[in-house]
Amino acid sequence: MTVSTTAWEKYIKTLAAVDKTAAQKFAVYLQRKQLTMGLEIVRKEVIDYAYALAKTYGESAAAAACEMYDAIAKLEGVLLPAAVPAETATYGEVAKTVNGMIKQKASAETMGSAVGRLVKRAGVDTTVKNALRDGAQWAWIPSGDTCAFCIMLASRGWQNASKKALRNGHAEHVHSNCDCTYAVRHNSRTEYKSYDPDKYLEMYEEADEDGKSWQSRVNVMRRQQYAENKDKINAQKREAYAERKEREAAAE
């Protein structure tokens, strides 16, 4: 059985839309609060709002992951219990994230991305925990402007689901501003049209310098990516800055 590129990209776009919406809403909210009162004064209100976003949109991400998980099992002809959505971020987890960002004096965009990461994590957790329950295989499939770390993960190919992917009860490989995620299969003959593990393995193995540790190879790939995309990266930074200025002006 082959999962089409169209089907996979539709799923990725759904997840991305959910976490990006939460991130943008929080960023706009923070800019308004920073300009009128300052975050320290309304810290609890800020945490409460972040928690509401993480819960509401996290539930949407988990629901989308359940739908995809069940759809794959159905296509493979595998009889399994319906996928169970993972828990969204707790109030304590959200508070820790927000307090850490306030302490670092992070920008509204950075804090928004942190909440978006918590939303995405609920979807990834859903896939991971159901795969562990059912003894599935998984692979990390890159999407969009893939970072070197995600390429390294993708180079590992299909693996048996393992609790090693969890840290403190959550999927470990979730970071901000990233559309990559786990794909699952219950049959070793199942393939994803958009995933070419050999390509990513070749990229990983070619990224060799003085050492052969995965950290060394990832750093080589990061430097290569920056050199290749420097102009694009700088343009994105200018665009993000302009958008932030527009939001600040609208909030005044």
**What is the tens place of the pLDDT at every residue in 167-180?**
888 988 888 788 89
- Cα-based angle 128, 4, 201 (whole degrees, multiple of 5): 65
Residues 6+ apart with CB under 8 A from 244: 31, 107, 108, 109
| Cα 84 from Cα 219, distance rounded (Å) | 37
**For the ranges 13-22, 103-112, 206-215, 241-250, the one whose mean pLDDT is highest:** 13-22
Q: How confident is the model at residue 196 (pLDDT cuts 50, 70, 90)?
A: very high
Mean pLDDT across 124-152: 91
The predicted structure's pLDDT at residue 239: 61
* Dist CA 98 CA 213 (whole Å): 33
Q: What are the extents of the domains in the chain?
A: 2-251
Task: State which H helix or E strand residue 252 sits in.
Answer: none
Q: What integer pLDDT is reported at residue 241 of this predicted model?
A: 61
- Is pLDDT larger for residue 230 or for residue 124? 124
Q: How confident is the model at residue 78 (pLDDT cuts 50, 70, 90)?
A: very high
C-alpha distance across the termini of the chain, in Å? 54
pLDDT at 36 over 50: no
Q: What is the C-alpha to C-alpha distance for residues 168 and 184, in angstroms, rounded to an integer?
A: 22
Over residues 200-207, mean pLDDT = 81
Tokens of 38: 């300052």
* Interval 149-171 mean pLDDT: 90
Report which of residues 223 and 166 the model is more confident about. Answer: 166
